[in-house]
Amino acid sequence: MSSQAVCASFSFRYTWNEGPTWVAAENAFFFSNFVAGSASGGDIIKYTPGGSCESFIKDVGCNGLAVSNDGNLLAACQQNRAIVRFDLKTKQMTVVADRLGTEMLDTPNDLVQHSNGSIYFTNPPNELAGRPQGVGPSVLRIDPMGKLTKISDGNFNGIALSPDERTLYVVRSEIWSLDAQGVPSTKRAMFSNNGDGMAVDCAGNVYVDGKIFQADGTQIGSWGAGTNLAFGGPDGKTVLVAGSGKTVRELKMNLPGLP
């Protein structure tokens, strides 16, 4: 693969880049720019491969992003402690979930959507910044009808699905088997207990903590330093790596992957 810096001349307003995703309808990557550990502040940046970076939505305070099934943008946001949906035409935000029963979410960190509509996300306390704890560190699921349930307790981070959507990977300890409805059943230990975000290619290989693993946990390569990454581009073979800090770089791969 080849690597090159992007957004090098762009003036980021905040100190940390995170959570990239590819939105095919926009022919662009989107990622978050915010202050790690802060309860508020943060922009969503749009990067068009071969083009430039731009501030797309300002002052929303979000972290992980994911393309929604309808081609818009889902976001895990620490500022309002919620999972939200952005309409990319109007830039309007709709709250998808912000409470489990009477308990507030903490600071949702990363998320992914199943083809059946389920949304899986992690909920660490990283950006509480003195605010009261809510649900507590955990991984949760929003089912296709909008019901929120807790899958497991733990201070998790990145999250991703396998290409066949039968496996849910959670950085920092867990791999869950999913049934046909996307409901988690059995779990086993994650082969990498370190790292932040992750990505999965179309062969089922998992990219986490700078390394590339086969689905059975065998390491087969590496992709270098970075906080989070996502596949995209017209052929799915471009990878955008965000972080650490304000670094953003673009990798060219020899096989496609998931956004």
* pLDDT for 51: 85
Q: Which homologous superfamily does the CATH classification assign to the domain defined by 2-252?
A: TolB, C-terminal domain (2.120.10.30)
Whether the CA torsion 163, 234, 242, 87 is positive or negative: it is negative
Q: Where are the domains of the chain?
A: 2-252
* pLDDT for 229: 98
For 186-202, the pLDDT digits (tens) are 999 999 888 999 999 99
For 6-19, the pLDDT digits (tens) are 999 999 999 999 99
To which H or E segment does residue 30 belong? strand 28-34
Please give the average per-residue pLDDT across 77-82, as a whole number: 98
Please give the average per-residue pLDDT across 206-231, as a whole number: 96
Residue 133 above 80 pLDDT?
yes
Residue 100 above 90 pLDDT?
yes
Distance of CA 16 to the CA centre of its chain: 14
Edge-to-edge strand list for the sheet holding 28-34 = 16-23, 28-34, 43-47, 53-57
**Residue 131 neighbours by CB under 8 Å, 6+ apart:** 39, 81
- Cα distances (angstroms) measured from residue 157 to each of 29, 102, 170, 256: 21, 23, 7, 24
Token digits of residue 90:
């109007």
Please give the average per-residue pLDDT across 92-98, as a whole number: 98
Band of residue 1 on the pLDDT scale cut at 50, 70, 90: confident
